[in-house]
Amino acid sequence: MRKRDFVSILLLPILLLLPFRSNAQFVAHGKADKFIESDVHLLLGGSYVTNNYMDSYSEITDLNSSMGLAWGLGVSVKFNLSSFIGLGTELNYLRNSGKINMAVTADGKPNVSNVFIKNSYRSLNIPVYVSFGFNVANNVRWNVDGGLYFDFGTSGSQKTTIYNATVNDLGQLVTAITNLKTDYYDNDKAYLNSYRNFDTGLHLATSIKFMDKISVGLRSQFGFRNVAQSNGIVKPTSHNIRLFATIGYVL
């Protein structure tokens, strides 16, 4: 996602609400109505894990990675230092998924393998952020959050199906199917690599709160850490990316 596109997404809620602008002070620095504010929320979106497999393995001739469905639920607590700024944190339970398809050839050998990998993994996700609030209309506030997230993997699986086609000494095409299933986190038997069960990175979010009760928003997370875990000579790199829409109820 380009930087300009992401900024546009962050500004979308405020642009939609401009026609309903009231006389409320857009930026208020006075005391907040509530010092501690909490909510429960649902998250729905997608998760993606980057990779550099084609740069790392010359045998991979074609590669396709796709974002998978991700969803979760969580609670948040925010300490309002003023009406404008606050400090917040959350505890979210996330279920993530993703797919990788690749074609693998062996140098000097007449065989081709088509590999299909399905990843499913779960984690506890804890963002810590600074939150800025703006009054855009009567009983409507726009929030922009920025900070870090800490992600702790709890469980998951990697399912790999390998379709292998070879030509034997008689010139006959021989096919075989191999199915593998391993843990997603910290498993040296995974195909190419498994993944580390801890990650941290950038957390960015925006939301609109109505009547101090209902909030809807968007958020993204970009991992800093190389989460690919490999015991082989080749060390690939992977980073987590998540995009979510959220809906919450303020307690």
Query: Residue 11: what pLDDT?
Result: 57
- Determine the Cα–Cα distance for residues 210 and 141; give it in Å rounded to an integer: 7
pLDDT of the residue at 173: 76
Q: For the chain, which residues make up each domain, given as ranges?
A: 3-250
* Range ranked top by mean pLDDT from 6-10, 38-42, 174-178, 232-236: 38-42
Q: Which pLDDT value is given to residue 168?
A: 75
Answer with the residue of higher pLDDT: 239 or 11. Answer: 239
Q: Specify the fold of 3-250.
A: Lipocalin (2.40.128)
State both tokens at 186.
């910290």
Q: Give the number of other Cβ atoms within 10 Å of residue 107's Cβ.
A: 6
Beta bridge partners of 204: 146, 220
State pLDDT tens for residues 74-125.
Answer: 999 999 999 999 999 999 999 999 999 999 987 666 678 999 999 999 999 9
Residue 212 CA to residue 247 CA, distance in Å, equals 13
Q: Which of 26-30, 132-136, 195-199 has the highest mean pLDDT?
A: 195-199
Pairing of strands 214-223, 173-183: unpaired
Within 1-152, residue ranges assigned H as helices are 3-17, 53-56
pLDDT at residue 15, as a whole number: 56
Mean pLDDT of the chain: 90
- What pLDDT, on the 0 to 100 scale, is given for residue 109? 66
Please check the confidence at residue 27 and state whether its pLDDT lies above 80. Answer: no
Phi and psi torsions of 89, nearest 5°: -150, 160
- Nearest residue to 44 (alpha-carbon basis) of 249, 251, 250, 247: 247
Position 2 pLDDT exceeds 70: no
Sign of CA dihedral 60, 62, 67, 69: negative
pTM attached to this predicted model: 0.86
